[in-house]
């Protein structure tokens, strides 16, 4: 499973002008299930992200997690994180999980974050979405489990 995590002061997703998810301070999470991923990888990614210490403490050091700050997460499916550009200029996505499996793992990941105590908003799997955010820091981290 792959993810791009961005520390944000706010983020939202709209589909055809309809807002489907919105958060204040927290994390914007773009997530992609890869071929062979299972619930174990989704669980591990959720644990990692919930405990990732990328929020500032009183001394202005990145030492606090999403769980520590009580921030929210906006989770958006992003199969293009599986892009392979090693053989030319057109990306291939054959390493991404098949759509049905990707959607199942995307939902499992979101539910696991909720079970950990994180407020979660979502995009819509497979939809053409407009994502807007204010990246705070900026802090952007690429993760793979």
**Annotated active-site positions, please?**
78-80
Q: Are 114 and 42 in contact (CB under 8 A)?
A: no
Structure tokens at 76: 């958006």
Sign of the dihedral defined by the CA atoms of residues 135, 20, 113, 37, in that order: negative
Q: Other CB atoms closer than 10 Å to residue 134's CB: what's the count? A: 13
Sign of CA pseudo-dihedral 16, 4, 96, 85: positive
- How far is the C-alpha of 17 from the C-alpha of 15, rounded, in Å? 5
């Amino acid at each position: 499973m792959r993810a791009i995590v961005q520390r944000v002061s706010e983020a939202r997703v709209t589909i055809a002008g309809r807002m489907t998810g919105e958060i204040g301070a927290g994390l914007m999470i773009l997530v992609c299930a890869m071929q062979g991923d299972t619930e174990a990888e989704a669980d591990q990614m959720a644990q990692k992200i919930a405990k990732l210490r990328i929020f500032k403490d009183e001394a202005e050091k990145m030492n606090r997690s999403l769980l520590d700050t009580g921030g929210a997460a906006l989770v958006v499916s992003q199969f293009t994180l599986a892009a392979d550009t090693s053989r030319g200029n057109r990306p291939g996505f054959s390493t991404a999980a098949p759509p049905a499996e990707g959607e199942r793992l995307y939902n499992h990941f979101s539910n696991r974050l909720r079970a950990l105590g994180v407020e979660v908003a979502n995009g819509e799997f497979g939809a053409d979405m407009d994502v807007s955010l204010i990246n705070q820091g900026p802090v952007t981290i690429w993760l793979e489990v």
